[in-house]
Amino acid sequence: MAYAKNAPFRADVVGSYLRPAELKAARADYEAGRIDAAALAVVEDKAIEHLVERQKASGLRVITDGEFRRGWWHLDCMWGFAGVEKVAMDKGYVFHDEETRAESARLSGRIAFDGDHPFISHFRFLKRFEDDTVVARQTIPSPSQLYAELFRPENIASVHEFYGDDQAAYDALADDTAAAFRGLILALYEAGCRNVQLDDCTWGMFCDPNFNSHYSPEEFRALQERYAAMNNTAIAGLPGDLVVTTHDCRGNYHSTWASAGGYATVADVLFGTENVDAYYLEFDDDRSGDFAPLAKVSGDKKVVLGLITSKKPELEDPDVIKARIAEAARFLPLDRLCLSTQCGFASTEEGNKLTEDQQWAKIALVRSIAKDVWGED
């Protein structure tokens, strides 16, 4: 039996955690051919079990596997679909001051859900540790994130090869992408998952003037609507007890960032039309803009304010954070707000520039502030 409530929680997290040294060493040994997949899994299992113990001990109401079985927050999931292959690239993703490892996901056929997707067995392992104090969460990239990955200049030829190069072909690709993710989400549900989080950097990209300035207002609106429709198709008509949330991010790699810009340019479509239960939003520095766009959050959807940074070890002043929550409540009622870090602590296996002790201190701060503001976690 899981905890009686489901996400989002007043004190919440995005889901990835710093990889312990033993796990990093085992992954390096596996890549070098010194150990096999079974030996790596033993180390992963032990690390995840210890992580779950730490999450429970911290007082969190949600547990994840820390994304410990992945190298990337998004690509590992994409590689699990039929018609998608892992490829080496000449250049990695470009972040502020850094460049990532050079890997991507490219089409090897038409996209479809594969019943042997590794994330299903990954979740089954995590589910074993769910009890009446916590809910087990599975994080996956959004359908739109895979769609965007396939339109990287180095990957677009594979789209043309397997789908075509006109709008009808791109629409078919969007439909297949949504269907593949829907298949994965339903398989996770059958495995016992009741909280799926769609991690999505496309909206953070859309917020950045360096991206959106290349489009006319009409083109930019149509692009946003295409991405929102794809995500909505994947999550339409799911079981009523499955909570689907989304984390919208501007990039989180080794304590650096990829894009900047407030939510105003995407609020009408993202907050008004994407049919998720809650948004986990980055608000840890000026790159995210102000809270005014929160007034566009439709229905009874909630917002988890990412006011505590996972990029730096220094602890925020609780009074400053409480004042910012009060400011956000001018645009969305306080009872529809929660608190978390702005992103995970290790969106890739490299992790951010802080220690594990500092990571847990950040989580303790989130819980302490949430308790003061809402009287609950």
Q: Which of 198, 50, 53, 54 is nearest to 137 (CA)?
A: 198
Which pLDDT belongs to residue 277? 98
Whether the per-residue pLDDT at 120 is higher than 70: the answer is: yes
Q: What percent of the chain has pLDDT over 90?
A: 84
pLDDT at 321: 98
Among 81-90, 182-191, 256-265, 360-369, the range scoring the smallest mean pLDDT is: 256-265
Least confident piece of the model among 103-107, 206-210, 242-246, 365-369: 206-210
Using CB atoms within 10 Å of the CB of residue 113, give its burial: 0 to 12 exposed, 13 to 18 middle, 19+ buried. buried
Q: Rounded CA gap, 165 and 6, in Å?
A: 42
In sequence order, what are the residues at sequence separation of 6 or more whose Cβ sits closer than 8 angstroms to the Cβ of residue 228?
144, 269, 270, 273, 274
Of 72-76, 79-83, 172-176, which range is least confident?
Answer: 72-76
Fold of 21-374: TIM Barrel (3.20.20)
pLDDT tier for residue 257 given thresholds of 50, 70 and 90:
low
* Alpha carbon distance 204, 278 (integer Å): 16
pLDDT in tens, 46-62: 999 999 999 999 999 99
Residue 265 pLDDT greater than 80, yes or no: yes
Mean pLDDT of the chain: 95
Span 4-25, pLDDT tens digits = 899 999 999 999 999 999 999 9
Strand partners, 198: 140, 246
Task: Give the per-residue SS3 of 130-178.
Answer: CCCCCEECEEEECHHHHHHHHCCCCCHHHHHHHCCCCHHHHHHHHHHHH
Annotated domain spans of the chain? 21-374
Cis peptide before 8 (omega within 30 of 0): yes
